[in-house]
């Protein structure tokens, strides 16, 4: 069991009121939880109590056991498939499904999105709670309920989302908002949020935090999982730290982040890549001129406005150029267009190493020397049912074949070597890649391109849902690539990441270039000012620039 901890504090550092004596039991409790998968001990004797009206941070490296623990609390793993006991409201539970957990008052927003792509936004939001009249679903009430659920998370910006649009047509960030809105609509006693801000803008994050605090004041409790430790410090009353399937300690939310990192990793994080001041740029590797990407779906009623409009820029050898901007600014659309996977018409011109190239398919992009790590690694970057070896070598099969026949021994050797180089934690490269933690999966997505030595590596949210240790390793890999003359074009919503990695930052706003920041000019404040079109940015205040 965990020893007693100091009285937690709220983000404003005022003490969190304890439950009244009549409510002395925890709102939810996990006792002596243990769980194994074939060859892997996922959890060992984990005991954790969630107090009424608190936000409990849950942190740890990928593979530490966080997701397994909340899947047990949320009924994904049925009672009997693990050791230990789950209690809600002081009563032992035997969940057979997620439906049982929801009935008991536990709502979970998992990192892996669970929307039904073919269903509309409104139908996804009200799924399982559809209003009806005389046994028929009331479409008017469905739309009103869905709009109200979105407004609670997005405010007036909720009207920008077309309720009739298929959820699968929307970006990952918007889908994340739908998941959060759906969970917060339940009158849950415990709400679990797993990496909820990974694809959200700063404004959306602030709105989510305000909603969490509002629900907490009303008595709801939260388990908040995030690799962004600044969010943990700003929001959480206590922080539970896991490592290698065990709970290694619980601390106050005000504990320094360096201490949390040391608990998570068992060691100091150490230095990570930061651009060297005064570095000399190499030759132009990627030249983009007048790029335009049409909006992919006419039913979103955005008229003729393009997702990316008349964008021109250059990336040099040995340089990291970052694309920054709010959700919907055109970052992902730019990278997708360059790799030939845009969802709509693309115009403009492109040069790689001084040669004009025309890219309409990924095969054209690969032949030109480009590689792409997409935002959604599970849906677009990996074949989850295939082995680690198959995923690591799939981009280089022509190089590992002779007369159309794959050299199996050479392919396996290549995969094993790459797995060692990238410190991918796996017993053997023959296991399914879907069984790996998020950080190790991301290293596989990046690693599959390295044998091709791409001239330009396109990275879309490269550390989304990745723990601090894996993040540092990815940063070092980017440093190694640029040191050897490769160019990196990076899109990220994580501003500290952009500031740390980028030699230059291109800030996009509504599909157009709002401004460029060079060395010595890059800061979170400068990026935000350009992203929102403000002449001044202070905490809580944005003054719009004159038109």
Numbered ranges of CATH 3.40.50.300 in the chain? 27-105+187-265, 285-544
Q: What is the pLDDT of residue 97?
A: 92
Per-residue pLDDT tens digits for 499-529: 899 999 999 988 899 999 998 899 877 887 7
Q: What is the pLDDT of residue 276?
A: 52
Q: What is the pLDDT of residue 300?
A: 38
Q: What is the pLDDT of residue 136?
A: 83
Per-residue pLDDT tens digits for 190-216: 999 988 887 677 777 887 888 889 888
Q: List the alpha helices (DSSP H) in 309-423.
A: 331-338, 362-368, 388-393, 408-421
Hey, what's the torsion of the CAs at 408, 414, 415, 420, to 10 degrees?
150
Q: What is the second-level CATH architecture of the domain 285-544?
A: 3-Layer(aba) Sandwich (3.40)
CATH number for the region 27-105+187-265 comes to 3.40.50.300
DSSP reduced 3-state for 281: coil
Q: What is the pLDDT of residue 13?
A: 36
Burial class (CB in 10 A: 0-12, 13-18, 19+), 501: buried
Q: List the alpha helices (DSSP H) in 78-118.
A: 98-104
Hey, what's the torsion of the CAs at 380, 382, 385, 390, to 10 degrees?
140
What does the alpha-carbon distance between residue 333 and residue 295 come to, in Å, rounded to a whole number? 10
State the DSSP string of 128-172.
T---EETTEE-HHHHHHHHHHHHHHHHGGGGGGS-TTSBGGGS-H
What does the alpha-carbon distance between residue 35 and residue 82 come to, in Å, rounded to a whole number? 5
Contact 454, 486 (CB under 8 A): yes
Taking only Cα atoms into account, the Rg of the chain, rounded to an integer number of angstroms, comes to 24
Q: What is the pLDDT of residue 229?
A: 82
The low-confidence residues of the chain, meaning pLDDT below 70, are 1-25, 39, 62, 172-173, 199, 265, 267-280, 296-305, 327, 532-547
Contacts 24+ apart (CB under 8 A), 452-455: 452/366, 452/371, 452/395, 452/396, 452/399, 453/486, 454/369, 454/370, 454/371, 454/486, 455/285, 455/286, 455/352, 455/353, 455/368, 455/369, 455/370, 455/486, 455/487
Q: Token digits for 220?
A: 């709801």
Global pTM value: 0.57
**102 Cβ contact list (under 8 Å, min separation 6):** 75, 186, 188
């Amino acid at each position: 069991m965990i020893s007693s901890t100091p009285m937690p504090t709220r983000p404003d550092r005022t003490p969190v009121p304890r439950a009244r004596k009549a409510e002395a039991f925890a709102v939810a409790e996990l006792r002596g939880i243990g769980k194994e998968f074939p060859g892997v001990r996922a959890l060992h004797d984990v005991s954790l109590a969630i107090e009424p009206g608190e936000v409990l941070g849950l942190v740890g490296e990928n593979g530490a056991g966080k997701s397994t623990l909340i899947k047990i609390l949320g009924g994904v793993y049925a009672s009997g498939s693990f050791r230990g006991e789950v209690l809600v409201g002081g009563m032992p539970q035997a969940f057979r499904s997620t439906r049982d957990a929801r009935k008991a008052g536990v709502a979970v927003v998992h990192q892996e999105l669970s929307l039904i792509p073919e269903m509309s936004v409104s139908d996804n939001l009200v799924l399982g709670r559809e209003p009806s009249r005389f046994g028929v679903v009331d479409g008017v009430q469905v739309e009103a309920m869905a709009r109200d659920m979105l407004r609670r998370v997005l405010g007036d910006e909720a009207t920008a989302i077309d309720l009739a649009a298929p959820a699968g047509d929307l970006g990952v960030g918007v889908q994340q908002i739908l998941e959060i809105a759906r969970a917060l609509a339940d009158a849950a006693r415990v709400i679990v949020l797993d990496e909820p801000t990974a694809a959200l803008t700063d404004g959306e994050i602030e709105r989510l935090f305000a909603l969490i605090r509002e629900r907490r004041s009303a008595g709801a409790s939260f388990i908040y999982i995030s690799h962004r430790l600044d969010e943990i410090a700003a929001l959480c009353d206590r922080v539970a730290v896991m490592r290698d399937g065990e709970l290694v300690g619980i601390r106050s939310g005000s504990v320094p982040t360096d201490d949390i990192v040391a608990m998570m990793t068992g060691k100091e994080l150490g230095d990570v890549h930061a651009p060297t001041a005064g570095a000399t740029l190499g030759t132009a590797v990627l030249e983009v001129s007048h790029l335009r990407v049409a909006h992919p779906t006419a039913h979103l009623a955005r008229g003729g406005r393009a997702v990316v409009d008349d964008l021109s820029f250059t990336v040099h050898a040995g340089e990291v150029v970052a694309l920054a901007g709010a959700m919907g600014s055109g970052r992902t659309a730019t990278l997708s267009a360059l790799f030939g996977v845009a969802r709509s018409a693309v115009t403009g011109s492109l040069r790689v190493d001084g040669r004009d190239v025309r890219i309409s398919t990924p095969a054209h992009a690969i032949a030109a020397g480009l590689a792409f790590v997409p935002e959604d690694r599970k849906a677009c970057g990996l074949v989850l049912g295939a082995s680690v070896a198959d995923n690591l070598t799939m981009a280089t099969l022509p190089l590992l074949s002779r007369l159309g026949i794959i050299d199996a021994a050479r392919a396996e050797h290549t995969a094993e070597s790459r797995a060692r180089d990238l410190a991918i934690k796996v017993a053997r490269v023959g296991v399914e890649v879907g069984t790996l933690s998020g950080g190790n999966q991301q290293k596989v997505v990046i690693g599959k391109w390295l044998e091709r030595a791409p001239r330009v590596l396109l990275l879309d949210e490269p550390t989304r849902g990745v723990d601090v240790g894996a993040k540092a390793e990815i940063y070092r890999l980017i440093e190694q690539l640029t040191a050897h003359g490769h160019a990196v074009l990076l899109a990220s919503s994580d501003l500290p990441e952009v500031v740390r990695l980028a030699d230059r930052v291109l800030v996009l706003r509504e599909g157009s270039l709002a401004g460029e920041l060079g060395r010595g000019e890059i800061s979170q404040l400068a990026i935000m000012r350009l992203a929102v079109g403000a002449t001044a940015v202070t905490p809580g205040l944005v003054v719009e620039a004159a038109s």
